[in-house]
Amino acid sequence: MMYNRFFMLAVALMMSLADYAHDAEIDGIYYNLYSNTKEASVTYMGKDSWDAPAEYIGAVTIPSTVTYEGVTYRVTSIGDEAFQYCEDITSVTIPNSVTSIGDWAFDSCKGLTSIKIPNSVTYIGSNVFRYCEGLTSFEIPNSITKMGGYVFENCINLSSVTIGSGLTILPSNTFENCEALESICLPNNITSIGSYAFVDCKNLKAIELPDMLETIGYNAFADCYSLTSLNIPNTVTEIRDQAFYMCASLTSVNLPDNLTRINSGLFENCYALASITLPKSVESIGSSAFWACSELKSFIIPSSVKEIGDCAFRFCTNLTSLTNLSPTPQAIDLNTFNSYDGIDLYVLKGCKEAYQNAEVWKNFGTIQEIVDVTGIEEKPALAEEFDVYDLNGRRVLNKVTSLDGLSNGVYIVNGKKVVIK
């Protein structure tokens, strides 16, 4: 009986020790030690990271090697949750021996103001600096080739970020709710911006998109209220749903030439968007794509567009001029547009009857034919000098002999409406 009691006590003690995350505490830092590789990983004290949230305070310097029971270990990683919830930590010095930083490593270190990632680090996990409200600047070195998502989520005072050339994918939610971030330049080797990457960056005014960018994820810039303009490179072939949702100050966007879809809600609630030109490659306009773009006064649908989704132009309350270059009316629902009586519809010559007989399209207040003027500068009728006006009566060209330099759109030349496409 006595033996059984001792045995059970020993088992309980072993189980209790096994519950602890760390193998050793050396000079105030906790480590997991790996005897087979002689490597050490920085970790937390106790069973869980929240057991002792104050085990690290002030300035922490991580050594490149540690010695325990006569054996020297090389410190190669900062483990998951190592400094999580250590609100009183102010700075961390990381040695060049470290190659990876685990998930949630510095999550909620609200007092952390200074940390530099050495060039030895190639991987940063997810949620690593989440809620580090004291961080104002950060440099991601060229050595980092992969990051997890949510790395800087709710770093509300982060105003300056330098991203190295090693990353090719900017993960989802990377800068979510970084309120102080006003501008950022992404390196040219970034090919993908993840979903929600900049969501709720309310003060982001400018971003330079990389020349090799291919995809922009769902809601990537949603609720970026201060973003005013975007130049999207021609390498981009996909911009996913609601990527620019509620970019309320966005006034101008240059779309890439090879884009085939304007996805659902892409510019939904972009109240300030006054003009936008769709490339000739676009085949479909998704549901609610331009919902509540209340500053849009005119819009041109390229001849390539075959589908227009539900509510695509709903609550575009100032839209008065719509040009549809498709010879065949697309199938649309009654709620695609906010109203029809106050919108003048312009269609190609010879297509008026088709639109007058098409469901929903026939509801437009007026349907007029326009002249296709591709190559119009060669026509003798325009050999003399002439002025060019937009549909609002503003003169855009004065005493010219050709239409060179005009962007796609509908204009008035010699009293006639003409379209450049």
Q: Where are the domains of the chain?
A: 376-420
pLDDT digits (tens, 9 = 90+) for 196-243: 999 999 999 999 999 999 999 999 999 999 999 999 999 999 999 999
Q: Are 150 and 131 in contact (CB under 8 A)?
A: no
Matching residue, tokens 């303009």? 229
Residue 3's Cβ-count burial label (10 Å; 0-12, 13-18, 19+) is: exposed
Residue with more model confidence, 7 or 32 = 32
Q: What is the mean pLDDT of the chain?
A: 90
Q: What is the mean pLDDT of residues 74-101?
A: 97
Residue 351 pLDDT: 96
- CA–CA–CA angle 342, 347, 350 (5° rounding): 135
Q: What is the mean pLDDT of residues 387-400?
A: 77
Residue with more model confidence, 353 or 414 = 353
CA distances in angstroms from 206 to 159, 200, 212, 265, listed in the order given: 13, 14, 18, 21
Residue 407 pLDDT: 75
Cα torsion 153, 158, 164, 165: sign: positive
Residue 401 pLDDT: 79
Q: What is the pTM of this model?
A: 0.86
Instruction: Tell me how far apart the alpha carbons of residues 80 and 77 are, in angstroms, rounded to a whole number.
Output: 9
Residue 411 pLDDT: 81
Beta partners for residue 300, in sequence order: 323
Residue 376 pLDDT: 36
| DSSP code per residue over 219-240 | TTTTT-TT--EEE--TT--EE-
pLDDT band at 16 (very low <50, low <70, confident <90, very high): very low
pLDDT digits (tens, 9 = 90+) for 136-178: 999 999 999 999 999 999 999 999 999 999 999 999 999 999 9
Residue 315 pLDDT: 97
pLDDT band at 372 (very low <50, low <70, confident <90, very high): low
Encode 229-264: b = buried (16+ Cβ within 10 Å), e = exposed.
ebebeebbebbbbbbbbbbbebbebebbeebebbbb
CA distances in angstroms from 139 to 115, 124, 155, listed in the order given: 9, 13, 14
- Percentage with pLDDT > 70 across the chain: 89
Residue 334 pLDDT: 96
Cα separation of the two ends of the chain:
95
Q: What is the mean pLDDT of residues 353-358?
A: 98
- Indicate if the pLDDT at residue 321 is higher than 50: yes
